[in-house]
Amino acid sequence: MDSRRSFVKKGVLLGSVLSLTPDIAFGSNFLNFSEKINIGIIGLGDQGLSMLSLLLNRKDVNVVALCDSDVKSVELGIESLKNSGKKAAFTFSGNKQSYLDLLALKEVDAVIIATPHQTRIGIAIDAFTAGKFVGMEVPAANSVEECFDLIKSHEQNGSQLMIMDDLMFRRDMMAAMNMLKENVFGDVFHFKCSYQRNQNIGSCDQHNLNNWVVNSHSKNADVYPTSGIAAIANFAEINRGNRFETLSTQVSKSAFLNQLNKDYQLQLNAESSGDVLTTVIKTANDQSIVIAYEGNVDSVKSMGIKIQGSTGIWDRQHQSIVIESETESVKYTADSVYLEKYDHKNWKDFDQQLVVTESEYMKHLSLDAFIQSAKGNINPVLDVYDAATLAVIAPLSDLSIANHGALQSFPDFTSGAWAFSKGRKANHRIQTV
């Protein structure tokens, strides 16, 4: 354990603290290690079991430990291992501290944390202390203080963390990164993203509706910005030559939630969030970013991605693109031609395989980036500084709304190192071809 921790500390000093430039290519199998890695999973709900299923299909991974406070969830994990023909794993359950026994295992090189979001920060800090490489579901933290706690623990112990946002590895997102690398849009000055989803209210029972309102919407804040902003942060090179500077959030009234409360007699309180929240971020490179949170309404599922530059605009929601240098007059055309032209080579490989769904393949690419980073003990594609930077949007939006949309300043979790990092052209993090 001590020798591994010493090695990790050296890696973090040379990697994330000084340059913040991960050494792994963005979803491109840049590293091809043949040795196996031993992984433990903490949290065996839907996300944890999904990760387990993908890990069991890999020849370079040993799943050596499983943990969940719920005994039945662990039993589901044991059944998956047995059905795959893999060796039995150490199992831990029964209480909320059972994960500490998993972290104490010298056999575990890396852990994936897929517990409820309120519990992840404490587990991650304990994993850092144990010298484990950490993969974590989003969001990584719930308050400004927790974000700083995460950074402090990382820098004290040297352990790495990757947030597991699979939407950044979506086919169109990776094609867009290729377009940005080739300067297709010129000087980019504006981005948009959103979290919109169909809540399927009619299919929910009273218990699930109550949980949805009480657990997810008790705060008047953008509680889940990561789905869209992780890809946008990647596009804008946040923490790698650029950073978020300020944020302001406005909110609508709670007409939809109030109607639900009336129709279904939910436990809605006066502090529940409005139906639509709109956050505007300004970056150090004078770009604007709009995040729309529409998770409270029964809307069509969408990330609402838009990229706007001096020579081109891509509006993914309307499946349209215009490149001014290629047309006599400005007119929108279908974006499918450009998405095919700049398709990432991993997705071209996917067309040849046809063994999993596109959703599963996105998770595979995210998981592969985590495994490659953990094997090489190198700075991952979305590291601890990214985790804190994206997670802090929620509490900052809460503060902004409480102060009538007042500007909030982003903490610089990198302590100024973002300004000295390499940009898109020379950054392995976004080397997509």
Q: Angle of helix 345-353 relative to helix 171-181, nearest 10 degrees?
A: 150
Helix (H) or strand (E) holding 6: helix 2-12
| Helical H segments across 217-333, by residue range | 226-235, 255-264
Under 8 Å between Cβ of 77 and 93: no
| Per-residue pLDDT of the chain in tens (433 residues, 90 and over written 9) | 444 444 344 344 333 333 333 434 444 443 444 589 999 999 999 999 999 999 999 999 999 999 999 999 999 999 999 999 999 999 999 899 999 999 999 999 999 999 988 899 999 999 999 999 999 988 899 999 999 999 999 999 999 999 998 989 999 999 999 999 999 999 999 999 988 765 555 555 655 665 655 555 656 777 778 778 999 999 999 999 999 999 999 999 888 777 777 777 766 665 567 888 999 999 999 999 999 987 666 666 778 899 999 999 999 988 999 988 655 555 668 999 999 999 999 898 887 765 678 888 999 999 999 999 999 988 898 999 999 999 999 999 999 999 999 999 999 999 999 998 765 544 434 333 2
CA quadruple 195, 227, 167, 54: dihedral, nearest 10:
-120
Residues 6+ apart with CB under 8 A from 295: 195, 196, 197, 199, 216, 217, 223, 224
Under 8 Å between Cβ of 192 and 164: no
Q: Is 398 helix (H, G, I), strand (E, B) or coil?
A: helix
Number of Cα atoms under 13 Å in the Cβ half of residue 160 = 33
Selection from 274, 165, 259 nearest residue 222 by Cα:
274
Under 8 Å between Cβ of 128 and 387: no
Helix (H) or strand (E) holding 360: helix 358-376
Order of strands across the sheet that contains 110-113: 90-92, 61-67, 37-42, 110-113, 133-136, 161-163
Backbone angles phi, psi at 130, to 5 degrees: -80, -5
Helix (H) or strand (E) holding 125: helix 120-129
Q: List Cα–Cα distances, 271 to 17, 245, 320, 401, in angstroms.
A: 39, 27, 38, 11
Dist CA 283 CA 312 (whole Å): 20
DSSP symbol at 13? I
Dist CA 299 CA 195 (whole Å): 10
Domain boundaries, the chain: 2-165, 168-347+382-430
Backbone angles phi, psi at 227, to 5 degrees: -55, -45
Helix (H) or strand (E) holding 189: strand 188-196
Structural domain 168-347+382-430, CATH architecture? 2-Layer Sandwich (3.30)
- List the structure tokens of 347: 């997705």
Cα–Cα–Cα angle for 139, 41, 65, nearest 5°? 160
pTM: 0.87
Structural domain 2-165, CATH architecture? 3-Layer(aba) Sandwich (3.40)
Residue for token digits 């009538």? 404
